[in-house]
Amino acid sequence: MKLISTEKLKSGMIVARPIISDAGILLLNSDVTLNDRLIELIKRRGIPFLYVKDDRIDTDVKPLITPEDTAKAVYVIKKAFDQALQSSLRRSSQMNLELLDDIVSGIVEIISRQNDLIVHLIDIKNADSYTFQHSLQVMTISLMIGKILDMTKNQLHNLGMGAVLHDIGKVGIPKSILNKEGPLTEEERSIVRQHPKIGFEFLQDCPLVWPTARAVVLQHHEKWDGSGYPRGLAGEDIHIYSRIVAPVNVYDALISKRPYQESMLPHQAYYYIKGKAGLLFDPLVVEKFLDIVAPYPIGTWVKLNSGEVGLVTSIKPGKVAYPEVKIFYDNNLKSLKNPTTISLAENTILSIDEVVEEPSE
């Protein structure tokens, strides 16, 4: 399996990981052979990358949450956002979140059973389902961090509810602003910054959303140094759940293609978060984030400081920034007849210089 830019897709390639719509439907399942029509559909959906199969590599990494469970979760999250929109139109805060509560409970159980937590695959999003898949991904990674911090299941559940609903207030922001291409005006930026308060108010009468979960909705844009909004809170005045969600939210947004920005590569977003520890984000939370989120996901082509080019094939717990790389091209970019695999965690001489496309001889 390898990760490839949508622009590099060719007929005959086989999909390795599915694509899910905003309605929780599998748009494109794994094992589907691409043709020109499907490639055009993928591009129109605004999908920047895709995992495709590669016979040279036997890596078959199973996602933490199955495609079927992901599709169900995305559907339920969308329904929750639809409810919030209808409630706002009726000027009511009545919402039924029992199905969402069940989804959160299920994912808490999955994560609680895992011993080695690693985010080693990119979450493939399409433009239509961004909000809902983003909410799911932010919740999943936040729960991983919560588990590492030894939170109880009840604490994880409240963290999960806050994380999955963190952007619920955006249903009260005009789509013309949210989907605007190009920079926002000061007035538009001020309107967008109202979404934490809007979301907090939406959820005030929901018995399944505890005050600590609502704190995430209100505080997920607060910053460690006090430069955030809406209240300019700093340090430990920000609830721990919110301090967990804050860097995860930024990371997932950075690696996602949006109308107003191109996506960063995972390693770029990873090192951005690392550089903001103690400034924008709680340094302890960032430390745990860096322990589980792989900057070079499986399937990424990388160039080493030796000039050799290979594919990331495995990532080990505790060493996520130092993956195993299978070398396919020498330092002259000539294909090797007998590719070799090296562990950057064990090899102190070699390191990754940059992320590249597969060389064409």
pLDDT in tens, 297-338: 888 999 999 999 999 999 988 899 999 999 999 999 999 999
Give the number of other CB atoms < 10 A from CB of residue 73. 27
Output the CATH code of domain 67-292. 1.10.3210.10
- pLDDT averaged per 10 residues in sequence order, the chain, 361 residues: 84 86 72 91 80 78 79 88 74 73 95 85 63 91 97 98 96 89 90 95 89 97 98 98 98 81 87 98 98 92 97 90 96 94 94 92 58
Helices (H), the chain: 36-44, 67-89, 98-113, 130-148, 153-164, 175-178, 186-192, 195-202, 211-219, 240-254, 266-275, 283-292
Domain map (residue ranges) of the chain: 2-52, 67-292, 301-355
pLDDT for 56 equals 78
Q: Which CATH number fits domain 2-52: 3.40.50, 3.30.420, 3.30.70, 3.90.105?
A: 3.90.105
Angle at 320 between CA 324 and CA 164, to 5 degrees: 135
